[in-house]
Chains A and B, each alone.
Chain A
Amino acid sequence: MSIPEVNRFDMQDVLNAIKLGLIIVDTDGKILLWNDWIAKHSGIEEADAFNQQLENVFSEPISPTFLTAIKNTLTYGLPVILSTALHRAPLPLYDTSETNQAQTRMHQSITMMPIRSQLNEPCCLIQVTDSSTSIKREKMLRFHSDILKKQATTDSLTGICNRRFFDEHYKMALADAKRQKHLLSIFMVDIDFFKQYNDHYGHLKGDEIIKLVANTLKSQLSRGTDIVARYGGEEFVVVMPYLPQKIAEQFAEKLRNAIFNLAIPHIKSDASHQLSISVGFCTGIPDIDDDMLKKADEALYLAKQQGRNQCVSIPPYETLPELSIDVFMNKL
């Protein structure tokens, strides 16, 4: 004869095996159930808690909201939730696996349900879950997501911002400058005769040069508002707000000098026999239709046309045919 499913297990065993705190109190606040989980995390044995007033059983105070919630559950027979976020730790419960003495209370999520005893007494069932694990899990997920976010916006070879990051940043920086009518400077940078460098010195050396140029450009930036990104193979782009024309011109020169002064031999360069860059830039307050990146790119094209290892600027509102006269040029 089979045992009916309901009686197959001693309910006390189940309640004590469960990984959840269970307390039942009656309308007088007297403890009628105190499972092992609660005993373990409160350090109070069932024998010492049973039939005692819940308010008096702990050596530390219980939060008043917790006691009000029990009262409400008992009075109206409506379930109550006490969330971790709003209450953190209403009961003095601790994680017993922690060895240090200065323990902090375990984060708790609490649910109170009206329940009737077999004698039809209205009681309150209090369920306590340890939300520390959820907090740890959420923090872990957030940590991983931060890493992935960083990876998604970083250029793997150089460690500076990648094209994806630049595209987003440029869109916002340009929109900002247009809206607030403030100065913005876009610098396009290209390593001179990089293909020839690669062919002559090999790809590994070529990669090293890209890294070196990226880091040298980055070291020229000191403000939190400025970014340098790898735009393409040997092309970089620098975005800087609030630079007056004169300072932008000086900064372009500073970038060019920083690379040139590395004095890396480049015997296949027609510009000079050492590593150099060309810089095209666009600086000013952009008008509604201005595409400063395009202008900086046109300026870079001019800088290359005119012999490389130099800086050329185009204002945001000018078009290519008119600029041959006004070009800001700095030949060696």
Chain B
Amino acid sequence: MNNLSTLHIDALTEVFNVGAGRAALSLSEIVGDEVRISVPSVQIIKSDEINSVVLSLNSGRFGAVSQHFSGPFNAEAMLLFTEEQALKIVRDMMGSQMSIEELAEFENEAMCELGNIILNACLSAMADILNISLESSLPNYTVASADEILQRIREDSNQPYVLVLHIDLAIEKRHTAGNLVFLLSSASLINLVTHINRFLGTIS
């Protein structure tokens, strides 16, 4: 936990902004319009200290796309948007050409894809910049309340650290904020720090 200096956080922020840029590019191709994604801040906290303020979770339901990934460090990555915002993003992306746009099953699948694009972009940026290779499960989409999400994060005693990325996503005129959460074990956090140190070593 204390191993992460401002320098580490800055490096991670840079890595994830590269990822966000890649995700935006992929999404623009699909939407056919400009998509902007940025990661204004990265935080690392103990999972038992996580609360609804950190994740800016208010009341209501949230759409969560999660992927487990493994490599030099393992983590569960979870992308969180309010369900309402998630649906709006997906509907914007689908545009009006789809006659099936109101069908729930396809919205879920599209949400999975949106999450997959953002998560993969962040993971691939990490892989490129930190010079590592990562494997990942297929994304899974669930809808849950803020309490259920917090409980899921806190209960996982194997992964006591949480890396929180605040994400700003703008598709056409709609502006949305979400969070990308990485649940990390102590060993994984140490390995992550080692890789960041190696990266910082190469550029200094």
A68 near B: Cβ within 8 Å? yes
Interface contact B123-A78, CB-CB below 8 Å: yes
B101 contacts which chain A residues (CB < 8 A)?
85
Q: Is the CB of B29 within 8 A of A64?
A: yes
Q: Which residue of chain A has the shortest Cβ distance to B94 in the bound complex?
A: A85
Q: When chains A and B are docked, how far (Å) is the Cα of A75 from the Cα of B134? A: 11
The count of residues in chain A whose C-beta lies closer than 8 Å to any C-beta of chain B is: 29
**Which of B69, B100, B101, B112 has the largest count of A CB atoms less than 10 A from its CB?**
B100
Q: How far is the CA of A114 from the CA of B90 in the complex (A)?
A: 26
8 Å CB contact of A86 from B94, B105, B134, B138: B94
| Contact code string A131-145 (vs B, CB < 8 Å = 1, else 0) | 100110011001000
Please determine whether A77 and B30 come into contact, CB atoms closer than 8 angstroms. Answer: no
Task: Give bound CA distance, A72 to B69, whole Å.
Answer: 16
- Asked whether B110 is an interface residue with its Cβ less than 8 Å from the other chain, the reply is yes
B100: which A residues are within 8 A, CB to CB? 84-85, 107, 135, 138
Q: Which residues of A contact B98 (CB under 8 A)?
A: 85, 88
A81 touches B26 (CB 8 A): no
Q: Is the CB of A138 within 8 A of B104?
A: yes
Question: For the complex, is B133 an interface residue (Cβ under 8 Å from A)?
Answer: yes
Query: CB distance B113 to A81 under 8 Å?
Result: yes
The answer to whether A86 touches B29, judged by C-beta atoms less than 8 angstroms apart, is: no
User: Is B120 in contact with chain A by the CB < 8 A criterion?
Assistant: yes
**Distance between A111 CB and nearest chain B CB, rounded to angstroms:** 7
Is the Cβ of A72 less than 8 Å from the Cβ of B106? no
Task: Give residues of chain A (37-95) contacting chain B, Cβ–Cβ below 8 Å.
Answer: 64-65, 68, 72, 75-88
Kindly list chain B residues whose C-beta atoms are within 8 Å of the C-beta of A309. Answer: none
Of all chain B residues, the one with the shortest Cβ separation from A64 is: B29
- Asked whether any CB of chain B lies closer than 8 Å to the CB of A313, the reply is no
Chain B residues lying within 8 Å of A82, measured Cβ to Cβ, are 113
How far, in angstroms, from A68 to B27 measured CA to CA in the complex? 12
Contacting pair B116 A76 (CB below 8 A): no
**Is A276 an interface position by the 8 A CB rule?**
no
Give the residues in chain A near B133, CB-CB below 8 Å.
Answer: 76-77
Query: What's the dominant secondary structure at chain B's contact region?
Result: helix
CB distance from A61 to the nearest CB of B (A): 15
Q: Are B104 and A81 in contact (CB under 8 A)?
A: no
A142: nearest chain-B partner, CB-CB: B103
In the complex, B85 has a CB within 8 A of chain A? no
Which residues of B line the A interface, CB within 8 A?
Answer: 26, 29-30, 69, 90, 93-94, 98, 100-101, 103-107, 109-110, 112-113, 116, 120, 123-124, 127, 133-139
List the interface of chain A (C-beta within 8 A of B). 64-65, 68, 72, 75-88, 107, 109, 111, 113-114, 131, 134-135, 138-139, 142
Instruction: Point out the residues of chain B lying under 8 angstroms from A86, CB to CB.
Output: 30, 93-94, 110, 113
CB distance from A240 to the nearest CB of B (A): 31
Query: A79 to B113, alpha carbons, bound, how many Å?
Result: 11
Residues of B within 8 A of A135 (CB): 100, 103, 106
**In this complex, which of A64, A84, A111, A139 has the most chain B Cβ atoms within 10 angstroms of its Cβ?**
A84
Take A65-B30, A78-B136 as given contacts and tell me if A85 and B109 are in contact as well, using a CB distance cutoff of 8 Å.
yes
A72 CB to nearest chain B CB (Å): 7
Choice from A68, A83, A88 contacting B112 with Cβ under 8 Å:
A83
Residue from A80, A85, A107 in contact with B116 in the complex, judged by beta carbons closer than 8 Å = A80
Q: With a CB–CB cut-off of 8 A, which chain B residues contact A114?
A: 135
- What are 29 A-B pairs at a CB distance below 8 A? A65-B26, A65-B30, A68-B26, A72-B124, A76-B127, A77-B133, A77-B134, A78-B123, A78-B124, A79-B137, A81-B112, A81-B113, A81-B116, A81-B138, A82-B113, A83-B109, A83-B112, A84-B109, A85-B101, A86-B110, A107-B100, A109-B109, A111-B138, A113-B138, A135-B100, A135-B103, A135-B106, A138-B104, A142-B103
- Say yes or no: B106 contacts A85, CB within 8 Å: yes
A65 x B90 contact (CB < 8 A): no
Least CB distance, A159 to chain B, in whole angstroms: 28
CB distance from B83 to the nearest CB of A (A): 16
Apart from A64-B29, A77-B134, A78-B124, what 16 extra A-B contacts exist at CB < 8 Å?
A76-B120, A76-B124, A80-B120, A81-B138, A82-B113, A83-B109, A83-B113, A85-B98, A85-B109, A86-B113, A87-B30, A111-B138, A131-B106, A135-B100, A135-B106, A138-B103
| Structural contact, B138 and A76, CB atoms closer than 8 A | no
**A79-B109 Cα distance, complex, nearest whole Å:** 14
Interchain residue pairs A-B with the least CB separation, the first 8: A85-B110, A85-B106, A83-B109, A83-B113, A76-B124, A138-B103, A83-B110, A81-B113
Given contact pairs A65-B29, A138-B100, A79 touches B106 in the complex (Cβ within 8 A)? no
B115's closest neighbor in chain A, by CB? Answer: A81
Give the contacting residue for A68; candidates B29, B105, B109; CB below 8 A: B29
Q: Which residue of B lies closest to A139 (CB)?
A: B103
Evaluate contact between A77 and B135: CB separation under 8 angstroms: yes
**B-chain residues with CB within 8 Å of residue A77 when the two chains form the complex:** 133-136
> If A81-B109, A85-B110 touch, does A76 touch B29 (CB 8 Å cutoff)?
no
